[in-house]
Structure 1
Amino acid sequence: MPPTTPEFVAPFEALGRGDVARVGGKNASLGEMVGQLGARGVRVPPGFATTAEAYWRFLDHNALRPVIAEALSDLAGGRAALQDVGARIRQAILAAAWPEETADAILRAYSVLCARIGRIDADVAVRSSATAEDLPDASFAGQQESFLNIRGEDALLAACRRCYASLFTDRAISYRIAKGFDHMKVALSIGVQQMVRSDRAGAGVMFSIDTETGFDKVVLINAAWGLGETVVQGAVDPDEYQVFKPLLSEPGVQPILEKRLGAKAQKMIYAGPGEAPTRTTPTSRKEQSSYVLDDGEILSLARWACEIEAHYGCPMDMEWAKDGESGELFIVQARPETVQSRRSAGALNSYRILAKGAELARGLAIGDAVVSGRVCLIASPEEIGRFVDGAVLVTTSTDPDWVPIMKRAAAIVTDHGGRTSHAAIVSRELGLPAIVGTGDATQVLHDEQEITVSCAEGDQGFVYEGRAEFEVQALDAAGLPPTRTQVMLNLANPATAFRWWRLPADGVGLARMEFVVSNHIRVHPMALVRFDALKDEAARQAIAKLTEGYADRTEYFVDRLSRGLSRIAAAFHPKPVIIRMSDFKTNEYANLLGGAEFEPKEENPMLGFRGASRYYSPRYRDGFALECRAIARMRELMGFRNVVVMIPFCRSVGEADRVLQVMAENGLERGRGGLQVYVMCEIPANVVLAADFAQRFDGFSIGSNDLTQLTLGVDRDSGELAELFDEQDPAVKWMISQVLVAAHAAEAKVGICGEAPSNHPEFARFLVEGGIDSISVSPDSFVAVKQVVAAAEAAADAQSTPEPAV
């Protein structure tokens, strides 16, 4: 049988994920998507790939195998430095000639692609695809080169030769050594793909999993103007969008959890004639203040991410681009996610800051750890010689040349970059905490300065002066016993909600709206309703800046509140998430922007104008309407029907009726669409008239702090009376027992939200024995309380089991 003719190129349509050995992971994946996902609406630009045979033919035609082997042997034997070895090999490849048959195959495939596109000398992207890359246990992130806006035959062959040379960059050589790959068994395929004109629109990166927590029910999308290289390189601070996957298929639902506007200070575009193929240029003020994608495009990309993930059967890391001429979206790369999807599901570490210095910088938190150390400020990889092992690397941004330094760092802080930037991806892979996109870390930090890098406080990471005091608690949720009593979580900060998704909690027993208002909105709702009448000029200016881009300033409140709370609702969907409507005291409301003009001054705000009394009052009714609109949006537009509303500090049944009426007028009618409404049980009147309250509400949530304070007549903040404030006092326990009996008689549920069950196991046992339906605690107490509840249930079962007859 005559020998078969070597195949040097293959169109994407002829490739699939079984072709990694022939065309590398990147090109095999592109072929797989073209062949298998196009019918599902996933668009991939056409193109072709050179094969591993083409690479080996190129080396053999130029007798390069022995040259490369000898250079690598010198490196392994310590006879030559990495930089010298890499330069030697790359120079030899760049000086080599193309075998005629290989060059002809590439140029014929390019001609076919040009005809398909309908352009002579069509502009293409030329990307490297190593035969050992994009594997589930090795990302090879950015190890080889890509070249954009390549036009014409000569430019194409030159770019392909440079791709071959990039297999031996210093970073690629060191990465293969670290991962145990044989240099001489890794070939390079080249993907040649129609350019998407994202230089006239935008591009970015997308993950089908939360990159920080591994939460597998969200899609994370980063977006910037221009070509996507700026996002991958971390050269810009991109927009960030998060979408909840389980609700994407529901008609009429838009489950966009977050839209965060990035600075996007620059973009990469096509260069003019006679210049390099691309150049970087500043963005306009309009571009900086505008989102790259609209809601429909965000949802389309998220649906594609779900399709791609379902097809591959694992979480995916994808690159996308929008064509500014056609307006179409495309997927230009897809590979397995390699960090969070492989993380252990059982153990969690909970970090808590006990004492800290002044805040020096903040940015996006990568990871969830806290690290203290000395700053080592490095401007470029050429300064690797002065980096101190175990220091905190501080720089503007990173690319693959930085990996040798990053491996030696205790933590990383950068001026620029988003969650999908090189610094973020490699930090996760190395298990290092990092803060990216600070904007000014290289200006405010200096060499040898003692700092603490904290990534344990939610989405935002903080750099503190000095060495902070912190504790680490290991939580092992694996093997926890099941309980009849629901054990739920108390949460306030949406940014931390995804950290706890692996805990087998029965939902959220208390989500505090106040945190979102004070930290993410910062404006008194009435100052938005009556902005034109606001007298405080400083507050007016601050509010105007915060609400820029919103035609209706009240929409700022509704939008921010609904999206912030939706992250908590998503973390435990479809389990119930009980959101307490705002329960600020008047002095706390007054501290919000513009708030002082709308709040009375009270001697005792704890017992003053708070809770239910505000919701129907002319002083706040319009502000409460905004809260209702936000909850209604979560349930109706975003699809979170698992949200339960809770009313705090409701003093009488008459007040309950008035609040329920105002809620119904603002789209929250109890029972409609399955809406449940609970009431806080924190006033003796709630216990005395529990049967009447149970006719108006679906459940009670005992606020043990306030109930103890008002039952015993003790100010919980009084140091003089501290020993009298006891949630286990017989009078308080009698109150709890009474409401349990009355509520259950009316078929209403009863839970408790407070730290008493965490602090006092015997109190948890009392609650279980009394038939409490749920206990809601802080995440770091969950494992201990779950174990106490299981033991209490087992003891109760043992007591109720009759002795066997003798």
Structure 2
Amino acid sequence: MGKSEYILWFDTVNNQDVARVGGKNASLGELISNLKAEGIRVPDGFALTAEAYRAFIAANDLADKIRHHLDAFAQEKQTLAKTGKTIRRLFQNAEFPEDLEAEICQAYRELSRRYQVEEVDTAVRSSATAEDLPDASFAGQQESFLNVSGETEILDACRRCYASLFTNRAISYRVEKGFDHMEVALSAGVQKMVRSDKACAGVMFSIDTETGFPDSVLLTGAWGLGETVVQGSVTPDQFTIFKPLLQEGFRPIIEKTRGSKAKKMIYTDDGSKNALQTIDTNGKERKAFVLNDDEILQLARWAILIERHYGCPMDMEWAKDGHTGELFIVQARPETVQSQRTAGMLKTYKLKDQAEPILTGLSIGDAIASGKVCRVLSTKDIDQVEDGSILVTEMTDPDWVPIMKRVAGIVTDYGGRTCHAAIVSRELGIPAIVGTGDGTRTLKNDQVVTISCAEGDQGNVYEGEIAFEAVDVNLDDIPPTQTKIMMNIASPSAAFNWWQLPAEGIGLARMEFIINNLIKIHPMALVNYDKLQDRDAWKTIRDLTKGYTDKREYFVDNLSRGIGKIAASQYPHPVIVRLSDFKTNEYADLIGGREFEHEESNPMLGFRGAARYYSDRYKEGFALECQAIKRVREVMGFDNVIVMVPFCRRLSEADRVLQVLVENGLKQGVHNLQIYVMCEIPSNVLLADQFAERFDGFSIGSNDLTQLVLGVDRDSSELADLFDETDEAVKLAIEQVIEAAHRHGRKVGICGQGPSDKPEFAAFLVEAGIDSISLNPDSVVQVKRLVAEREATQKS
């Protein structure tokens, strides 16, 4: 055989060569051949072809022996474990034919020459001819070997790659997917090792892995070699980037979550070859992000280029070289879960009862499951796992797959959204909660729990069996409406869940939800951090804001990213963000808040909304809100964000708030900024014409408006029967506001609970000529159909 049949350099192959060099190596060649000119760096290397594998098989007379053991397994005469072990031993005892061995060694010497070293360090990776396909990932089914240098070690690593084609998990996976064992060949890729042991590495997807939201890049990373991220043995940093605005030159990093990164995998420093070790990270490494913003954005740009070239969502591995500081892509393959989902259907899950979680982590998938805990720490004990149980373990690897198929859900101590447990559970369609930290200590064998991945990014574990419902929503043939149907979204973590719904924006995004759940600290406590009297609050704030020299930046950074993620979910449709509308008792409950809030006998009608923004008691805190909005619109690029002023009682107050906004860099019309007022007070109705001269639009808050028009405490159980948005007085107020707004060419929408709960109220709003109705996400399809019917009736 000639050299071209045994060895192919990466820069000479592409995706048409999968049959010769396997999916992984073909993809590396595709990247080098087509995207190197775009600035994407891929380490050089070569592939042993499928012909080389078959030559190895033939030279050692292995084919009949392998087939004999596979037939015995298929006929249940031999266990999977014995089959795999016996076949792997055949490979380990075999030798390379002389001509093939010579060509491998010659190629390795050439690779060393290209990098100007005597023996270049490499990663030797398995690349099967049936892997990295759009409908079958073969995630982790074959082996990779890192830090391999020297001809003897290269040959041994290639032999071990060949043997790994018959790991127990690989045999099982091929049986499940219907692949003929003997038709699949293996190519070994020998690639220059990126010295990420001195820096960091991780995984990147060009699609949101949980919801299928197509406009985001999900990036995870940890210190050291990337194996810890892939295996799920650490909880990595996580970043989300919005692709459309990145391509327009903005910096739309809409999520940055610091992982614990407790360990890292590095080369040993004892001089031995091929040796790796896992060590604890230090405190500085755990507190720091592995990438700076420029590096995050660079990798995201590469993800966009790679996805565009392949024409499908991609799963990529990246590494940073600690010597040169350069970033590299070391693998790229099609994403295999979200891209295969059926379009036109949205399955939603919802708990019927509320409870406090006993454990939290990252949610994988969007389902809910209940079952008995089966706590297993080693694959040696997987025979203890019962069908339909909740598997609780530290982490998973491909050896766990046969068991993962049988359980109702998975909980792990470690891992991020791109770890093995996450990838496989998505592919299997079962919910998983990863990176809980102490799941194996908190949960006990036979304890009945419910795990919920249907509440946003945070996965929750609840005590006992909690009832839930699953609903299939058909998104096909939903009629268009003249009235815009929008959504109420509070949580950034849940925003991507609803991107498929036929909504035209977000009518209400509550800033206070982000402050309460993500930031947790009173803004004035951050402004006055060095002067805080409450030392307990001071210590808590110190711990929460590690990494921020200026504590105010902690508020601006987290608030802007929270708003940015919500804005991304509906871009370019309008997203109306209500400025903070806590009441004094709610502000007081924030960390450090009691030092800046006074008690009020009636907080509902007290120091809230617009009155706070120009007050000396809060205006420095309000300035942080403005900075966050300005960053979202001008740095991240989300000019679809509209600002809404709540509880604006008087015209003079409106003028003062608008002036304060200008002083903080938010002026109407600049960068197309629109500012709405919330219509929730009788004065907003009575003076609607004058408010329309000041604001760009109205958003009717039907809950507060009903409360104040009817004089009914909306939280009173005694008066529940009297609280009714469909009361004639409330409807008359709404009609007056709509008429006044339209006289001045202003838009008016509604964002209260009423239209979600009462179809007849939604019908009234259409008849009154409202421009938009903002609903809870689970009501969007139903109400949109109703609105379409009512609009058709009006036309006829």
TM-score (structure 1 length as normaliser): 0.98
Question: What does the per-residue CA deviation read over 1:361-384, in whole Å, with 9 as the maximum and x for residues that have no partner?
Answer: 111000111111000111111212
Residues 147 and 273, structure 2, Cα contact 8 Å, conserved in 1:
no
Match of 1:385, as an amino acid?
Answer: D
Q: Distance in 2 between matches of 1:724 and 1:413?
A: 46
Name 1:742's counterpart in structure 2.
740
The answer for the alignment partner of 1:380 in structure 2 is 378
Q: CA–CA distance in 2 between the matches of 1:389 and 1:722? A: 47
The answer for the alignment partner of 2:93 in structure 1 is 95
Name 2:359's counterpart in structure 1. 361
User: Which residue does the alignment assign to 2:253?
Assistant: 256
Partners of 1:482 and 1:346 in 2: CA distance: 16
Partner of 1:42: 40
Aligned residue number for residue 164 of structure 1? 162
- Asked if the contact 1:356–1:464 (Cα under 8 Å) also holds between the matched residues in 2, the reply is no
For residues 292-315 of structure 1, the C-alpha deviation after alignment (integer angstroms, 9 at most, x for no partner) is 100000000000000000000000
Report how far residue 476 of structure 1 moved. 2.0
State whether residues 42 and 304 of structure 1, in contact with CA within 8 Å, keep that contact through their aligned partners in structure 2.
yes
Contact 1:6–1:53 (8 Å) recurs in 2: no
Distance 1:588 1:614 in 2: 14
Q: Is the 8 Å Cα contact of residues 356 and 465 (structure 1) preserved in structure 2?
A: no
Shift of 1:471: 2.5
Q: Tell me if the contact between 1:144 and 1:166 (Cα under 8 Å) persists in the aligned partners.
A: yes
Letter in 2 for 1:109: A
Question: For residues 761 and 601 of structure 2, what CA distance do their matches in structure 1 show?
Answer: 34
TM-score normalized by structure 2?
0.99
Q: Distance in 2 between matches of 1:738 and 1:129?
A: 69
Shift of 1:388: 0.5
Deviations 1:447-496 (A, max 9, x none): 11100101111101011111112233332222110000000000000000
Distance 2:472 2:173 in 1: 32
Counterpart contact for 1:206–1:320, Cα < 8 Å? yes
Instruction: Give the Cα separation in 2 of the matches to 1:357 and 1:663.
Output: 40
Deviation of 1:565 after TM superposition, in Å, equals 1.1
CA–CA distance in structure 2, aligned partners of residues 438 and 478 of structure 1: 38
Matches within 5 A, 1:58-137: 58-137=56-135
1:360-759 equivalent positions in 2, closer than 5 A: 360-759=358-757
Distance 1:249 1:78 in 2: 55
How far the C-alpha of 1:6 sits from its partner, in A, is 6.3
| Corresponding residue for residue 12 of structure 2 | 14
2:282 pairs, out of 281, 284, 303, with 284
SS at match of 1:787: helix
Counterpart CA distance in 1 for 2:59 and 2:28 is 29
- Indicate conservation of the 8 Å contact 2:668/2:675, yes or no: yes
Q: For 2:136, what is the secondary structure of its paired residue?
A: coil
CA distance in 1, matches of 2:443, 2:475: 39
Shift of 1:356: 4.8
Q: Deviations over 1:171-193 (max 9, x none)?
A: 00000000000000000000000
Deviation, structure 1 residue 385: 1.6
Alpha-carbon shift at residue 446 of structure 1 (Å): 1.1
Instruction: Pick one of 319, 323, 326 that aligns with 1:325.
Output: 323
Which stretches of structure 1, 4 residues or more, deviate above 4 A after TM superposition? Answer: 3-6
Q: In the TM superposition, what is the alpha-carbon distance from 1:698 to its structure 2 partner?
A: 0.5
Give the conservation status (yes or no) of the 8 Å contact 2:148–2:274. no
* Distance in 2, Cα, partners of 1:625 & 1:102: 69
Cα drift, residue 717 of structure 1: 1.5
Residues 147 and 274 in structure 2, CA contact (< 8 A), matched pair in contact too: no
Taking a change above 3 Å as real, the CA distance of residues 5 and 496 of structure 1, as seen in their structure-2 partners, is closer
Gaps of 5+ in 2: none
1:563-594 superposed Cα distances (whole Å, 9 cap, x missing partner)? 01111000000110000000111110010011
CA–CA distance in 2 between the matches of 1:302 and 1:50? Answer: 31
- Sequence identity, in percent? 62
Q: Is 1:772 paired with 2:783?
A: no
CA distance in 2, matches of 1:559, 1:71: 59
User: How far 1:724 moved relative to its partner?
Assistant: 1.4
- State the alpha-carbon separation in 1 of the partners of residues 215 and 770 from structure 2: 31
CA deviations over 1:313-370 (Å, ceiling 9, x no partner): 0000000000000110000000000001111232222222232554221110001111
Structure 2 distance, partners of 1:450, 1:761, is 39
**Distance across 1 between alignment mates of 2:446 and 2:495:** 35
Asked whether the equivalents of residues 502 and 781 of structure 2 are also in contact (C-alpha less than 8 Å), the reply is no
| Amino acid in the other structure paired with 1:9 | I
Q: CA offsets per residue over residues 102-134 of structure 1, 9 Å max, x none? A: 111111111111100101111011000000000
Counterpart Cα distance in 2 of 1:500 and 1:357:
23
Asked whether 1:269 is paired with 2:255, we answer no
| Equivalent AA in structure 1 for residue 261 of structure 2 | K
Secondary structure at 1:317's aligned position in 2? strand
Cα displacement (A) at 1:765:
1.3
Q: Is the 8 A contact 1:71 1:85 kept in 2?
A: yes
Equivalenced residue count is 795
Q: Distance in 2 between matches of 1:124 and 1:771?
A: 68
Deviation of the 1:211 alpha carbon: 0.4
Counterpart residue number, 2:299:
301
SS at match of 1:334: strand
Residues in 1 aligned to 2:737 and 2:574: alpha-carbon distance in whole angstroms: 22
For 2:262, the aligned partner's letter is A
CA contact (8 A) 2:749 2:773 kept: yes
What SS class does the counterpart of residue 37 from structure 1 fall into? helix
Q: Which stretch shifts more, 760-769 or 292-301? A: 760-769
* SS of equivalent residue, structure 1 residue 144: coil
Unaligned runs of 5+ in 1: 799-806
Task: Compute the displacement of 1:537 (Å).
Answer: 1.3
Corresponding residue SS for 2:166 = coil
What do residues 372-429 of structure 1 show as CA deviations (whole Å, max 9, x unaligned)?
1000111111212211011000000000000011011100000000000000000000
8 Å contact kept, 1:366–1:434:
yes
**Cα deviation, residue 230, structure 1:** 0.6
C-alpha contact (below 8 Å) 1:475/1:780 kept by paired residues: no
Structure 2 SS opposite 1:783: helix
Change (3 A) 1:6 1:330: closer
1:200 paired residue number:
198
Q: Residues 486-538 of structure 1: CA distance to partner in whole angstroms, max 9, x if unpaired? A: 00000000000000000111000000011100010000101111122221111
Structure 1 SS opposite 2:410? strand
Does structure 1 conserve the Cα–Cα contact (< 8 Å) formed by 2:3 and 2:103?
no
Aligned-partner residue type, residue 132 of structure 1: A
Equivalent residue letter for 2:252? P
Asked if the contact 2:148/2:273 (under 8 Å) is kept, the reply is no
CA distance in 1, matches of 2:437, 2:192: 34
**Matched residue SS, 1:7:** helix
Deviations 1:214-255 (A, max 9, x none): 00000011110011111000011100011000011223x211
Range with greater deviation from structure 2 (463-472 or 59-68): 463-472
> Where does residue 802 of structure 1 map in the other structure?
none
Query: Is the partner of 1:139 in helix, strand or coil?
Result: coil
**Cα distance change of structure 1 residues 419 and 380 upon mapping to structure 2, 3 Å threshold:** same
CA–CA separation in structure 2 for the residues paired with 1:404 and 1:111? 41
- Counterpart of 1:164, as a letter, is Y
